[in-house]
Amino acid sequence: MGILSSFRAGATIFGHQSPASGVFDCEALPASPSSLGLSAKAGILLAFVPPEADFPAVSQTWQRFANADLTVLTLSSTGALCNIPKGSAYCDMAGSQGSWLWLPQTLISRHETHVIDLHVREKMTAGQRVAAIRQELERINVAMPLSADRTFAMIYCDGLSAAEGFLMQAWYASGRFPCMAIGGSAGGKLDFSATYIGNHNGVLQGKAVLVFCQMAPGKSFAPFKSQNFEPTAQSWLVAEADPVARTVTSVFDANGRPQSIITALSDHLRCKPDQIGKHLEGKTFGVKVDDEYFIRSVAAIRADSIAFFCDLEFGDRLYLLQATDFVAATREDWRRFLAGKGKPSGLLLNDCVLRRMNNAASLGQASFFDDVPAAGFSSFGEIFGVPINQTLSALAFFDHDVKAMTHFPIEYAAYAGHYAQRALRRWEAMHAIQSGVIERVVAYQEELNPLLTALPQLERATSRQSETLDVAESSIRAISEAATQTRSAQDNLEHELNQLEQISLGITQITVGISGIADQTNLLALNAAVEAARAGEAGRGFAVVADEVRRLARSSKDQADATRNNIRSAVETIERIRSVAAQTVGTTQEMADQSISAADQIAAMSTETSQERRNLTTNMGRMKEAAKGMDAMHEAVEQLTALQRLTSSERGKAIRETFV
């Protein structure tokens, strides 16, 4: 079947007054609506242009079909989508094949288009961007009445503006649009060089196009969402994030303390930081709105942060999701969606480019929608009430009332509440931090008071220790001086002993001489006695004298021998005294040396103690100053407690404002 015949097949099946879809070749563009098999002149015609095509030229050709009643909107894509029965819904991204979707006035009775500036080129904070876009929305004058069940808004943004989140925050903050918002960001080449939106005024960049639509009587619509992920048990509360750069730097751990998101992921995945990308294969992240998960895909993993394709802020809870089978999940979601609704008359498809890229091997089996006319594109981001990624965000149209939007006011509140919940989680995180600060301050205060009480005692004890060391040093130096004096006295004793020894030697020599004289005298007396005996009576008197002399000589010898023996004993005693004195001198010298060393060590200790005492005194002064600040700390605790009460009050107020 050729291209034009495929167009005519869609129109033939559903008639001129029903939605139709088809594909086109950018190198052989249709010349008129009739060449597409369309005869009606009123409605909305959407054309999805492949990334390699000359978008301005293609858009200009399609815009020739536009008139006062027919709005033509062209969108650059990263590959078009078109439902072909029993074929893949995904057109070849690398070729020249695009797709189109026709929504006639018999389906959408009224529509109006508005273009707003996304303030991409201006350097603004996230809050400033939201405020600026809100001002753009406030200037819009929507003529048709908006209601949940009869109207919806198709929203298409510049794909490189990173503004979907800011736009939707402003959308709900304005409170002017109580209807379903669905759409996405224009796609393009994967080098992210440019994206385009075309209308009757030309090619738009840095803008968003809003098409408000009102269903014709008897017609209805229902939003359809499909994503092949399921939640795990793991989630993190975002701490530090830059919604403008779309990066997250830190998350709160289980104890409420901020930690690097890189550290948190490497710990959870049990891998090194440079292996996080590999371990995240088959996984993604998401935020939760009521019971629905809205995916936040990773754009890049950096050394200290992770970049996402959707903005995240402090207060968002980031859930880790696990991939399931792409084809099976989409078919099951479509089956559940159709239950009780019947067959749609048409389908607008906004599909994330990551679904195409991450499931390339399964695209050939991606036949989901039977023979329902359906077309759309692979986008750089989708909108389904709030911004999402890696999701098929679709809008199904019915020729009867399926009452799918009966509960939309609740869903609208949930979408709007997503941003309020983000603020509430910020308050909760701040509340937890404040509570932790209060607890730590009180604990610090309780621990500090005993320390402040003990510090003066420590100062006094240190002072006494220093005084004791001074006394010990003086006593030991006195011992050293006494030992020195003892050594001097022992030296004098040695000198006196030497003199006594010399005298003893002299006396010994004298006694030896006396003994010799006594021996000679005794010999002479013996000779005299012999001679007296020879003389007879005449020598008797002389003999008596000789006997007396001999007796005296013997007595002198005995006394001299005794004296010599005593002197010998005295000399031996002197030697023993000298030996003991020498040992005493050595011991005394050693004691003196040790005493001096000990005194020097004590002196050094005393010096160190003095320095430590000075340091302690300085620190005591500081601690006393800190003690003076305890009153200020009490005041800070009271202020934090008051802030905590205020936080709780504001949280309750925010909850009431969100759901009342």
DSSP string, 7-20: HHHHHHHH-TTS-E
Lowest mean pLDDT among 123-132, 233-242, 610-619, 623-632: 623-632
Could you tell me how far CA 240 lies from the centroid of its own chain? Answer: 10
- Length of the chain in terms of residues written: 660
Residue 449 CA, chain-centre distance (Å), reads 33
Most confident of 310-314, 375-379, 596-600, 651-655: 375-379
**Strongest mean pLDDT among 116-120, 440-444, 454-458, 600-604:** 116-120
Nearest to 81 by CA among 6, 8, 23, 36: 23
Of 72-76, 401-405, 596-600, which range is least confident? Answer: 596-600
Average of pLDDT values for 17-36? 92
- Provide the 10 A C-beta neighbour count for residue 503: 11
Write the single-letter amino acid at 551.
R
**Per-residue tokens: 458:** 């420590």
Q: Measure the CA–CA gap between 86 and 84, rounded to whole angstroms.
A: 6
DSSP state of 314: T
Other C-beta atoms lying within 10 Å of the C-beta of residue 31:
11
Residue 209 phi, psi dihedral angles, 5° rounding: -110, 125
The crossing angle, in degrees rounded to 10, of helices 540-628 and 630-659 is: 30
Between residues 512 and 451, the one the model is more confident about: 512
Mean pLDDT along residues 267-278:
95
Q: Nearest Cα to 149, choosing from 414, 401, 416?
A: 401
Residue 609 near residue 400, CB atoms below 8 Å:
no
Burial level of 604, CB count in 10 A (0-12/13-18/19+)? Answer: exposed
Give buried/exposed letters for 420-455 (b at 16+ CB in 10 A, else e). Answer: bbbbbbbbbbbbbbbeeebeeeeeeeeeeeeeeeeb
Domains and CATH numbers, the chain: 3-225+328-406 (no CATH), 231-319 (2.40.30), 427-642 (1.10.287.950)
Place of tokens 């005296």: 552
Question: How many CA atoms within 13 Å lie on the side-chain side of 157?
Answer: 25
* Cα 483 to Cα 495: distance, rounded to the nearest angstrom: 18
In 10 A of CB 35, how many CB atoms?
14
Q: How many percent of the chain have pLDDT more than 90? A: 51
* Neighbour-count burial for 531-548, b at 16+ CB within 10 Å, e otherwise: ebeeeeeebeeebeebee
pLDDT (tens digit, 9 = 90+) per residue, 114-145? 999 999 988 899 889 999 999 999 999 999 99
3-class DSSP state of 398: strand
Give the pLDDT mean for 40-59: 94
Mean pLDDT across the chain, nearest whole number?
Answer: 83
Alpha-carbon distance of 507 to 503, in angstroms, equals 6
Q: How far apart are CA 459 and CA 623, in angstroms?
A: 12
Tell me how many degrees the CA angle 69-18-47 measures, rounded to the nearest 5: 60
For 81, the token pair is 């989508």
Instruction: Write out the E strands in 326-472.
Output: 346-352, 374-379, 382-384, 386-388, 392-398
Measure the CA–CA gap between 4 and 36, rounded to whole angstroms: 6
User: What is the pairing mode between strands 317-323 and 97-104?
Assistant: unpaired
Q: Can you name the residues that pair with 241 across neighbouring β-strands?
A: 248
How far apart are the C-alpha atoms of 280 and 629, rounded to whole Å? 50
User: Which two three-digit tokens encode residue 162?
Assistant: 């990173």
Cα 35 to Cα 13: distance, rounded to the nearest angstrom: 16
- Give CA–CA dist 293/226, Å, rounded: 11
The pLDDT tens digits for 280-335 are 999 999 998 878 898 999 999 999 999 999 888 888 899 999 999 999 999 999 99
How far is 212 from 143, CA to CA, in rounded Å? 10
- The one-letter amino acid at 40: A
Residues whose CB is less than 8 angstroms from the CB of residue 518 and which lie 6 or more positions away in sequence, other chains included: 553, 554, 556, 557, 560
Tell me the pLDDT band of 608, cut-offs 50, 70 and 90.
low
* Average of per-residue pLDDT across 437-456: 68
Those residues whose C-beta lies under 8 Å from the C-beta of residue 582, and which sit 6 or more positions away, are 494
Alpha-carbon distance 223 to 393, whole Å?
8
Gap between the Cα atoms of 634 and 623, Å rounded: 16
Examine the pLDDT at 655 and tell me if it is beyond 60.
no
The encoded tokens of residue 271 equal: 């891998």
591 HSE (CA, 13 A, CB side): 17
3-class DSSP assignment, residue 369: coil
Pairwise CA distance, residues 407 & 279, whole Å: 39
How many DSSP H helices and E strands does the chain contain?
Answer: 11, 27
User: Rounded to the nearest 5 degrees, what angle is found at the Cα of 645, between the Cα atoms of 641 and 650?
Assistant: 140
* Alpha carbons within 13 A on the beta-carbon side of 543: 12
Quick one: pLDDT at residue 358?
A: 92
Residue of higher predicted confidence among 131 and 4: 131
Which of 353, 349, 299, 347 shows the shortest CA–CA distance to 93?
A: 353
56-65: burial string, b at 16+ Cβ within 10 Å, e else? eebbebbbeb
**Average pLDDT for 328-354:** 96
- The candidate with the shortest Cα–Cα distance to 372, out of 4, 21, 6, 7, is 21
Three-point CA angle 357, 385, 305, nearest 5°: 55
Using the predicted structure, report yes or no on whether residue 112 has a pLDDT greater than 60.
yes
